Each structure stands twice: as structure tokens, then as C-alpha cells.
Structure 1
């Protein structure tokens, strides 16, 4: 099986940039209220930082038969041989009205978490493909 990769959807990056611009515009038109300018400016900077990360490191997970590569830090990458991966699983939690599902890639010293918004695909589907790459077509996630 060839290398596969999962990336942040382009539409999501565009929405983050648009939100950052909207927050900056709000700060600019509210120059007479210093507290609002500070709040809107901080929101604009935070959203811009998230959007910039999506531009610098759009691929969150890539994998082939030898290893999985995950985004590490702000925009770095870490290639992890399958032998160092302790588990690939989907964590599902329900609290109040929230339902979250995260792909977990666990090593001896790290736990890498990815949502469907990071991957541009359902986490179950990504976990299944990673299981195929890790163990071959005969096994699943583990």
C-alpha cells in the first residue's frame, strides 16, 4: 500500500483566516474602546496563529508501510517507525451534549491526538487505514 496522508481541509483554513480578518476589523473599528480592541486583537492574533499553522503544516498525519509521520510542535514533523507505535485507537467521549472522537497515536513517550478537523476525514476511517498500513491488509487497529 502506498503512502497515505490526511490534511486540514482548505475550507477550514479559509474560515480561520476570514475569522481572523473579521476580528481584526472589529478591533480597528472599535478604536475608542481599549478593552474591546485588546480582546478583538487577541482573538485576531490567535486565529491567525491557528490559520498559519494550517498553512505551514497542512498534513497532520502521513503513513506508509514503514512509519507514521505526525505533526509535532507548531509546524514540525516527527516520523515514527511502526515498531515504536504502542497503539492506534479512536477515543470517544460523551459529556453533556458534546460528543468527541479523536484519533490517538501512542508511543512510549507521547500521545498524538487528531480530530476529524485535523484530518479532513472521519477518525475511524483513518484508524482503519493506519491499521492496514501497520499490520498489512489482514489486521486492524490495535
Structure 2
């Protein structure tokens, strides 16, 4: 089923700090997919907070290793966080279906693509530069 966090195995990149963040992200996604509407807003906020911290950790890794594609990668993080925050405002107003749709139809497919493209390239760079 499209957007199902439980059906697809997580692609590991072989760089533990990034892989750990991805595991944690997917655990929250699995929880949020199964939570009722009463608990959804709290879980959505937890996912937002985790994602902000996750992206900040990646941004610091890129800076520390002088990653050549840092601008593009950081820009993608900023774009997704802008959209995430817009949906967070809707969820805070009680528009839970909008938040559910964002997670299942936008965030999860984006995350899977981001891992296989931008994060895979970053992990290869970090392994090669021993960061």
C-alpha cells in the first residue's frame, strides 16, 4: 500500500549516525500511522521536533566535512521543513486529516527518495572522508 511505513524495509547507508536518525524517524512514522486522532497532534509534533533535530545533525556533518553538495542538501531540508510547519499549523487547528495526508502522501515518499539520493551521497562522502 503506498505510503505504508510498515511494508518497506529501511535502506541503511552504512553510516551509523545517519542510519540511527533514519531508524528513529521511521519508528515515529510507524507510531503516527497507527495513532488515533486524539493522539495524532502530539505525535505529529514529536515527528516535527525529531525531523528538525535530525536535519540539524546532518547539516553539521555536512559543514564539518566540507560536503560539496551542502547547499542543495540544506535547501531541500529547508523546503521540507517549511511544508512540515505549514501542515503543523493545520494539525494544531484540529485538521488532523491534512496532517495524516502529509505524512503518508508527502513526507514518507519524499523521505524514501531523499535517503536513496541525497543522504546516500552524503553517507558515501562521510565514509570516504572518515567523519
TM-score (norm 2): 0.31
Question: Which structure is larger by alpha-carbon Rg, 1 or 2?
Answer: 1
Higher percent of residues as strand: 1
TM-score (norm 1): 0.30
Which structure exhibits the higher relative contact order, with contacts defined as CA atoms closer than 8 Å and separated by 6 or more residues?
Answer: 2
